[in-house]
C-alpha cells in the first residue's frame, strides 16, 4: 500500500502529470493494473467521496480529480478495463431538450473509475435511443441528468419504455439541478440522486445486493 | 405603497410595511401569453408585452428584462443555437487564446440581442409608471467566462493558465459593466447580477474570495455610480460559505436558493435584503395550497425584521401553473412584516 500512496496523493491533488508519472513508475516496478485500481484508484475515490460532503462538494475539484483518474485508467488499461473488474453496465445520457452535460460527464467518470462499463448516449438524447441502447448493451442501470425542468416529461417516459421492451428490471437513476428537486414517484424512476456520489452509492448497494 | 416602494423599503431593511413579492418570471411570461419562447427571447417588444401581461395578471412587484444566459457570450462572438420553445444554448465556444486576447467589449446598442433587452427595459419603465421595479440582467463574471469559453475549459484554464483566466475574467467584467450601465441608462432600476457558476457547488469558496470577489466589487461599484437603486446578486445553490463576503462585494440584496433557509442566512447577513426561496419545481408539481402555506411560513419567519422579498429560489419554470404564482402573490399581499 505504501508504494501506492504517492499515486493516491497525486490523484487527490488533481495533478494529472504527477499521477501519470506515479502510475508508470508503479507499472515499471511490477504492479499490475488490477492492483493499482484496488490499492490506489479505489482508495482515492473513497477519500474524495468522504470529502464531498454537502458543504465541500465543488465541481472544480471533482473535475480535476476526474481528469486524473481517467488519464491513469487509460494509461494502465490501454485496451479498456478488464472484464474481471467490470461490475456492470450503465447507460448514461442528458435527455432531449437539455444540452448541459457536465453533470453527466462527471457521473460517467466516477462510474467508470469504480469499474462500471459506461455507455454514453451524449446530450439531447431521445428516450427511444436511450432505451434501445440499454437493451442492446444489456444494461444494469440507466442514469439521466437534467439541468432544466422541461426534460421532466421525458424522464417520466423512461420506465414505461423499458417496461414495453420487457426491461423493467433495469434501474433508472435521475440527478442534476432540475431533477433533484423532484421525487422518484413524480419522475417515475427508482432513485433521485443529490449528486453523482449518491447515484453511485445507490447503484453499488443494488448491484452488491444482487451479486450476494 | 407601490410595489417599487415596497421593494425599496425592504432593501432599506424597514421593519414595517407590506412584504414585496417578486416571482422570478422569465420564459413563463411567454408561455402565459401563448408566445413562442424564441420570439420572446429575440424581440424587446415581445418580451415587454409578455412581462406586462404577466404583471397585469399576477400583480407582483417587479418585471424582468431577462432573456437567457447566452446573451452576452453571443454578442461577444460565441455561436448559439435557438429552439422555438426553449432557451438557446451555446453551440460553439470561443476557446483559443488568440480569440480571448483579441476579444472586444460588445456595444450594447448594436451587438447581438443586447439592444432588444434595452428596448424591453425602456418600454417597461415607461409603462409601469414608477410603480414597479424594472430589473435588467447581466451574467456574473464566472458565469459569463464559462458561457464564453465552456464550463470545463474555463475551470481547467483557471488551474493551468491562471494569468490567462484572470485576463478573461477582467475582460468579461468590462463586458458586464458596459452592458449593465447601458441597462440602467435605458431605464432599469437595477440589473440583477446572475452568477450561478460562482456557487460553492462549482468553485471552492477560497476561489470565490480570491478571484471572483474583486470583480464583483468592480461591477457593483460601477452599477451604483451609474444610478442603480441597489445591487442584487443571484448565486444559486448552497451559498452559506461565501455569504460573509457579500457586504464586501457591495451587495444590497441577495437571492436564497430553495436549499438554504432565508432566516438562517439573515444571521450571516443582517444588513442585506434577502429574497427567496420557494422551490422552483413546486410551481409545476405542487398545489396552490402548498405554495400559499410555504409563502406564509417564509413571510412569518421575517416578522418584525423586514428586509425580505418573497420570491422563488431561482427562475420559475416556464411550464409553471399560473394558480401557483397567484397563490404566492396572494400570500404576500395578505401579510405584513
pLDDT tens digits for range A142-193: 999 998 888 999 999 999 999 999 999 999 999 999 999 999 999 999 999 9
In Å, what is the CA distance from A119 to each residue of A88, A108, B40, B58, B199? 11, 8, 37, 46, 30
Q: Are B316 and B283 in contact (CB under 8 A)?
A: yes
Number of DSSP helices (H) and strands (E) in chain A, helices first? 10, 5
Can you list the domains of chain B with their CATH numbers? 3-334 (3.20.20.210)
3-state secondary structure of B285: helix
Please check the confidence at residue A97 and state whether its pLDDT lies above 90: no
Average pLDDT of chain B is 95
> How far is the C-alpha of A172 from the C-alpha of A144, rounded, in Å?
8
pTM here is: 0.91
In the block, cell 448497494 appears at A205
How distant is the Cα of A138 from the closest Cα of chain B, in angstroms?
Answer: 31
Q: B-chain residues within 8 Å CB-CB of A181?
A: 258, 279-282
Q: Are B314 and B280 in contact (CB under 8 A)?
A: yes
Q: Which of A186, A212, A184 is nearest to A198 (CA)?
A: A184
Per the structure block, which three cell numbers stand in for B79?
A: 455561436
Average pLDDT over residues A129-154: 95
Residue B73 Cα distances to B92, B145, B236, B329, angstroms: 10, 8, 20, 34
CB distance B202–A59 less than 8 Å?
yes
pLDDT above 80 for A80: no
Question: For residue A158, which of A147, A144, A146 has the smallest C-alpha distance?
Answer: A144
Please tell me whether residue B83 adopts helix, strand or coil conformation. strand
| Residue percentage of chain B with pLDDT more than 70 | 100
Residue A85 has pLDDT above 70, yes or no: no
Cell of B55: 404583471
What nine digits make up the cell of B205? Answer: 469558496
Chain A positions touching B204 (Cβ under 8 A) are 58, 60-61
**Alpha carbon of A153: minimum distance to chain B alpha carbons (Å):** 11
Report percent pLDDT > 90 for chain B: 88
Residues of A near B (Cβ–Cβ under 8 Å) read 14, 54-55, 57-61, 63-64, 67, 97, 99-100, 102, 105, 148-150, 152, 177-178, 181-182, 186
User: What average pLDDT does chain A have?
Assistant: 90
State residue B86's pLDDT score: 86
Distance of CA A78 to CAs A72, A73, A75, B70, Å? 10, 8, 6, 39
| ipTM for this prediction | 0.82
State percent of chain A over pLDDT 70.
95
Asked if A155 and A189 touch (Cβ cutoff 8 Å), the reply is: yes
Q: How far apart are CA B227 and CA B233, in angstroms?
A: 16
Mean of pLDDT values over B99-117? 95
Give which of B267, B225, B222, B224 is closest to B244, Cα–Cα: B267
Phi-psi region of B314 (alpha: psi -120 to 50; beta: other; left: phi over 0): beta
In chain B, which residues touch A (CB < 8 A)?
86-87, 89, 151-152, 155-156, 158-159, 200-204, 207, 236, 238, 240-241, 258, 279-282, 284-285, 317-319
DSSP state of A147: S
Q: Across the interface, do A150 and B86 touch by the CB < 8 Å criterion?
A: yes
Q: Could you tell me if B193 and B185 are in contact, meaning their C-beta atoms sit under 8 angstroms apart?
A: no
Sign of CA dihedral B115, B120, B126, B131: negative
Q: Where are the beta strands (DSSP E) in A47-170?
A: 88-94, 116-120, 141-145
Amino acid at each position: 500500500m505504501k508504494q501506492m500512496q504517492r499515486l493516491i496523493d497525486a490523484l487527490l491533488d488533481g495533478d494529472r502529470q504527477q499521477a501519470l508519472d506515479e502510475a508508470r513508475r508503479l507499472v515499471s516496478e511490477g504492479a499490475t493494473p488490477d492492483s493499482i485500481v484496488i490499492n490506489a484508484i479505489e482508495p482515492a475515490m473513497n477519500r474524495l467521496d468522504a470529502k464531498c460532503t454537502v458543504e465541500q462538494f465543488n465541481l472544480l475539484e471533482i473535475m480535476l480529480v476526474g481528469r486524473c483518474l481517467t488519464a491513469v485508467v487509460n494509461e494502465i488499461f490501454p485496451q479498456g478495463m478488464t472484464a474481471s473488474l467490470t461490475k456492470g453496465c450503465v447507460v448514461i445520457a442528458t435527455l432531449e431538450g437539455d444540452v448541459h452535460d457536465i453533470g453527466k460527464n462527471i457521473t460517467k467518470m466516477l462510474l467508470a473509475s469504480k469499474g462500471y462499463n459506461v455507455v454514453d448516449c451524449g446530450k439531447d438524447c431521445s428516450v427511444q435511443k436511450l432505451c434501445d441502447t440499454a437493451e442492446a448493451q444489456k444494461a444494469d442501470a440507466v442514469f439521466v441528468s437534467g439541468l432544466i425542468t422541461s426534460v421532466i416529461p421525458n424522464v417520466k417516459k423512461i420506465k414505461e419504455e423499458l417496461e414495453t421492451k420487457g426491461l423493467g428490471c433495469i434501474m433508472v437513476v435521475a440527478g442534476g439541478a432540475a431533477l433533484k428537486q423532484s421525487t422518484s414517484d413524480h419522475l417515475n424512476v427508482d432513485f433521485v440522486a443529490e449528486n453523482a456520489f449518491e447515484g453511485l452509492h445507490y447503484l453499488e448497494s443494488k448491484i452488491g445486493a444482487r451479486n450476494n | 405603497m407601490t410595489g417599487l416602494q415596497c421593494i425599496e423599503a425592504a432593501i432599506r431593511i424597514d421593519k414595517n410595511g407590506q412584504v414585496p413579492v417578486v416571482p422570478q418570471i422569465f420564459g413563463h411570461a411567454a408561455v402565459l401569453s401563448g408566445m413562442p419562447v424564441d420570439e420572446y427571447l429575440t424581440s424587446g417588444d415581445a418580451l415587454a408585452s409578455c412581462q406586462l401581461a404577466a404583471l397585469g395578471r399576477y400583480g407582483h412587484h417587479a418585471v424582468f428584462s431577462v432573456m437567457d444566459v447566452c446573451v452576452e457570450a453571443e454578442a461577444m462572438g460565441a455561436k448559439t443555437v435557438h429552439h422555438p420553445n426553449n432557451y438557446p444554448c451555446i453551440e460553439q465556444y470561443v476557446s483559443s487564446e488568440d480569440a480571448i486576447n483579441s476579444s472586444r467589449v460588445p456595444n450594447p446598442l448594436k451587438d447581438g440581442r443586447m439592444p432588444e433587452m434595452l428596448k424591453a427595459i425602456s418600454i417597461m419603465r415607461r409603462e409601469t409608471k414608477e410603480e414597479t421595479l424594472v430589473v435588467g440582467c447581466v451574467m456574473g463574471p464566472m458565469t459569463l467566462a464559462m458561457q464564453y469559453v465552456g464550463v470545463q475549459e474555463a475551470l481547467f484554464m483557471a488551474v493551468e493558465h491562471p494569468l490567462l483566466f484572470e485576463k478573461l475574467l477582467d475582460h468579461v467584467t468590462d463586458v458586464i459593466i458596459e452592458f449593465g450601465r447601458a441597462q440602467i441608462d435605458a431605464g432599469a432600476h437595477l440589473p440583477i447580477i446572475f452568477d450561478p457558476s460562482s456557487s460553492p457547488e462549482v468553485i471552492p469558496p477560497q476561489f470565490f474570495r480570491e478571484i471572483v470577489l474583486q470583480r464583483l466589487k468592480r461591477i457593483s461599484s460601477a452599477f451604483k455610480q451609474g444610478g442603480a437603486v441597489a445591487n442584487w446578486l443571484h448565486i444559486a445553490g448552497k451559498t452559506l460559505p461565501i455569504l460573509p463576503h457579500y457586504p464586501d462585494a457591495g451587495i444590497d440584496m441577495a437571492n436564497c436558493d430553495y436549499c438554504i433557509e432565508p432566516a438562517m442566512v439573515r444571521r450571516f447577513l443582517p444588513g442585506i435584503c434577502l429574497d427567496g426561496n420557494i422551490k422552483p419545481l413546486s410551481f409545476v408539481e405542487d398545489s396552490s395550497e402548498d405554495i400559499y402555506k410555504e409563502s406564509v411560513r417564509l413571510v412569518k419567519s421575517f416578522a418584525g425584521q423586514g428586509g425580505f422579498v418573497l420570491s422563488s429560489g431561482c427562475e420559475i419554470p416556464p411550464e409553471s401553473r399560473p394558480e401557483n404564482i397567484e397563490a404566492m402573490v396572494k400570500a404576500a399581499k395578505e401579510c405584513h412584516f
